[in-house]
Structure 1
Amino acid sequence: MEFKAPQRPDDFEPDVRFAFVLTPAFTLLPLAGFADAVRHSSDEADRSRQIFCHWEVLGHDLSPVTSSAGFSVTPWKTFAEAGDYDYVVVVGGLLDHLNDISPDTYEFLRQHHARGAKLVGLCTGSFALARAGLLDGRRAAIHAHHRPEFVEMFPKVIPVENELYVSEGDILTCPGGTAAIDLAVEILIEHCGRSRGMKGLTALVVDEHRSAHEVGRLPYQDLEECGNWRVEQAVKIMRQKLREPDTTEHLAEKLGSTVRQLNRVFLQHANSTPQEVWRDMRLQHARWRLMNSKRTITQISYECGFSDSSHFSRWFKAKFGETPRTYREKRLAKQR
């Protein structure tokens, strides 16, 4: 597959410039979704000219890069020929090919970040950014399937599983899939205005632009598919009883198990006890309600199974680093 750069009128300065860097075995959907959102915002109708946006595909050489689905894309320029960009978008893919990323790629990312370009990691592009040493101490959006490997490989990075994308100033990450479209639209709105930034959604048959805090996948949904029936059934019960959490003893009794057995299988599959998972599920749900409802903090605390708002605030701050009130105020202020 060879992408050719659509032409731009002479002497026209675009509002935003993107460089796409494809890692070996990259995933097609995040690249296609992000690029198509940019393409539609760049021109009138569906003419695909690079007017309001500019984009290029770069590589350490001009050899085709094969995606996880077998389609190949040929870079348009080498890193040595690169220009100036507002965003460098790293499209990740299969982790088995992480070691195949050229050292020149990491050096290019570090250099352009130092020059002021913002970096975007799509899918496992966050792994590449972390390996380049650019995510230490920062939050990064990670697909739940990749959390174990990410935590083991990059203990200095804070993984975030339940946000569609994470913005840490000059580095943005998303777990891939259709979330790449939402992240692209967010960037395009900032640089091209809301009307032009949202232009591609209709063409892409996307109903609406989702905010970063809309949960794409339920917390601990992977545990419902882990292959251990005790864990799977326990998590389903927990999800049904977020408002009324119970003791591990009662939970084990419902499953015909013992507390010891239940603790053991949860530590094996979740690296946490049942009560820790249950509390974390309630905190994740509470965070979602803070951003997507007008309920008071006291109401949310009771609706998520905490005895009072003070108890809720203590656990929330321990989990997310700030109180529920501060968390809501900061993020609502950014949306204004």
Structure 2
Amino acid sequence: MSKPLPVVAMIAYPSFSPFHFAVPYLVFNSELPEGRLFDLKIVSPCGGPLAAERALTVHPDGGLELVETADIVVVPGWHDLATPPEPELAEALARAHARGAHVVGLCYGAYALAYAGLLDGKRASTHWMAEQDFSRRFPRVKLDMNALYVDEDWLITSAGTGAGLDCCLYIVREYYGSATANKVARTMVIPPHREGGQAQFIEQPVAVSTHDAQINRLLDYLRENIGSQHTIDGLAARAAMSRRTFTRHFGKATGMTLVDWLVNERLRRTRDLLETTTLPVEKIAELAGFQTPVSFRQHFKKRFQVSPRDWRRTFGQETAAVD
């Protein structure tokens, strides 16, 4: 007799996002030549049809009773970050986790798990745009804002949108191994595993100007000469300040030390060059003011969790001839 398929209960909620709903639906409803991998059940907490954000309605397989026997329970996003799940849903999630089921919150779905108290004291991930809000609401959760997904104590959470695919493929690997997960990924024409974390997708702007006119002029000069080497004494003299006064003014105006500001601006410049040119990494390091290509690669990897070459491969307009 064949082994029963793992049962996945996917929670639909009011005004759900069609994209977030479709991601786990595609993965857990997929069928390989060998057959289906999971028994997917669509769950509506109210037991009846639910409307998506626009123009779509889902007709569920049943209500929360389906959660009671599921091996995997998935909350694909969440409709309102300020609204906790209904007590019946929160309790169903807690019961599922208590009996050993995987409970999954994709993207903002981590909110549903956190509201239910499941993530207290645990590591978790969610979309980077919600970092401050999530941390304020759930201070006991150890938020990892670089991870594409986190699995701790059978609680799995993912970063935003596309990371939901990474997370679902991870679950396939956990149940069936890498070979099967790779097959599923190939049918969807996506990589089975992505390097790095969501740090590479987070906007990290550098303030163009401050409230200090002298420092603003200096920042303009530094941006125009970012490839040159700069010292505190030299810049203090340029600003007609003592070293101590310059350091105090610069820190107050930018919120950074000079070294941190220069590294930040140089990394921003290298990102632009990687994305828009085919210059070799060594030349990019030179133009951005890093003293050696090794130093550039180390700073880049530390900040974005991927190499400059991988960044170019992901975001570049063209493939560099020499890298």
Specify if TM > 0.5: yes
State the alpha-carbon separation in 2 of the partners of residues 198 and 79 from structure 1. Answer: 32
Out of 44, 68, 73, which is 2:53 matched to?
68
Out of 42, 52, 56, which is 1:57 matched to?
42
Calculate the aligned-residue CA RMSD, in Å.
4.1
Q: Match for residue 149 of structure 2?
A: 165
Kept in 2, the 8 Å contact 1:26–1:94? The answer is: yes
TM-aligned CA deviation for residue 86 of structure 1: 1.7
Q: Match for residue 196 of structure 1?
A: 180
TM-aligned CA deviation for residue 218 of structure 1: 2.2
TM-aligned CA deviation for residue 177 of structure 1: 1.3
State the alpha-carbon separation in 2 of the partners of residues 75 and 126 from structure 1. Answer: 22
Letter in 2 for 1:141: S
Deviations 1:219-251 (A, max 9, x none): 752436xxx5338x98xx99xx9xx9987x969
SS of 2:47's partner is: coil
| Greater shift in the superposed pair: 101-110 or 65-74 | 65-74
Deviations 1:86-109 (A, max 9, x none): 21111123435x426322110110
Letter in 1 for 2:33: E
State the alpha-carbon separation in 1 of the partners of residues 72 and 100 from structure 2. Answer: 9
Kept in 2, the 8 Å contact 1:126–1:141? The answer is: yes
TM-aligned CA deviation for residue 30 of structure 1: 3.0
Q: Match for residue 124 of structure 1?
A: 108
Structure 2 residue 99 is matched with structure 1 residue 115:
yes
TM-aligned CA deviation for residue 111 of structure 1: 0.9
Structure 2 residue 24 is matched with structure 1 residue 24:
no
Note closer, same or farther for the CA distance 1:220–1:278 as it changes in structure 2 (3 Å cut): farther
SS of 1:130's partner is: helix
TM-aligned CA deviation for residue 154 of structure 1: 0.5
Note closer, same or farther for the CA distance 1:219–1:196 as it changes in structure 2 (3 Å cut): closer
Note closer, same or farther for the CA distance 1:52–1:144 as it changes in structure 2 (3 Å cut): closer
Kept in 1, the 8 Å contact 2:68–2:95? The answer is: no
State the alpha-carbon separation in 1 of the partners of residues 230 and 144 from structure 2. Answer: 24
Q: Match for residue 90 of structure 2?
A: 106
Letter in 1 for 2:88: D
Q: Match for residue 230 of structure 1?
A: 209
Q: Match for residue 27 of structure 2?
A: 37
Deviations 1:199-232 (A, max 9, x none): 22223221x1224x622442752436xxx5338x
Note closer, same or farther for the CA distance 1:159–1:111 as it changes in structure 2 (3 Å cut): same
Out of 74, 86, 89, which is 2:74 matched to?
89
TM-aligned CA deviation for residue 171 of structure 1: 0.6
Q: Match for residue 215 of structure 1?
A: 197
SS of 1:34's partner is: helix
Deviations 1:249-301 (A, max 9, x none): 969x99xxx877765676xxxxxx4359949x99xx9xxxxxxxxxxxxx988
State the alpha-carbon separation in 2 of the partners of residues 116 and 190 from structure 1. Answer: 15
TM-aligned CA deviation for residue 29 of structure 1: 2.3
Q: Which runs of 5+ in 2 are unaligned?
A: 211-215, 240-245, 268-292, 303-323
Kept in 2, the 8 Å contact 1:14–1:52? The answer is: no
Letter in 2 for 1:78: G
SS of 1:136's partner is: coil
State the alpha-carbon separation in 2 of the partners of residues 277 and 106 from structure 1. Answer: 47
Which TM-score applies when normalising by structure 2?
0.64
Letter in 1 for 2:24: F
Map 1:293-312 onto structure 2 (within 5 A): 304=298
Kept in 2, the 8 Å contact 1:139–1:166? The answer is: yes
| Greater shift in the superposed pair: 191-200 or 136-145 | 191-200
Letter in 2 for 1:202: R
State the alpha-carbon separation in 2 of the partners of residues 166 and 246 from structure 1. Answer: 42
Note closer, same or farther for the CA distance 1:132–1:82 as it changes in structure 2 (3 Å cut): closer
Letter in 2 for 1:150: F
Kept in 2, the 8 Å contact 1:15–1:191? The answer is: no
Q: Match for residue 320 of structure 1?
A: none
Q: Which runs of 5+ in 1 are unaligned?
A: 1-10, 267-272, 286-298, 306-311, 313-336
| Greater shift in the superposed pair: 183-192 or 120-129 | 183-192
SS of 2:200's partner is: coil
SS of 1:77's partner is: coil
Higher RCO, Cα 8 Å, sep 6+: 1
Q: Match for residue 321 of structure 1?
A: none
Count of aligned pairs: 254
Kept in 2, the 8 Å contact 1:15–1:192? The answer is: no
Deviations 1:115-161 (A, max 9, x none): 11111110111111111001111111121110111011011111122
State the alpha-carbon separation in 2 of the partners of residues 23 and 217 from structure 1. Answer: 29
> For the pair shown, which has the larger CA radius of gyration, 1 or 2?
2
Q: Match for residue 294 of structure 1?
A: none
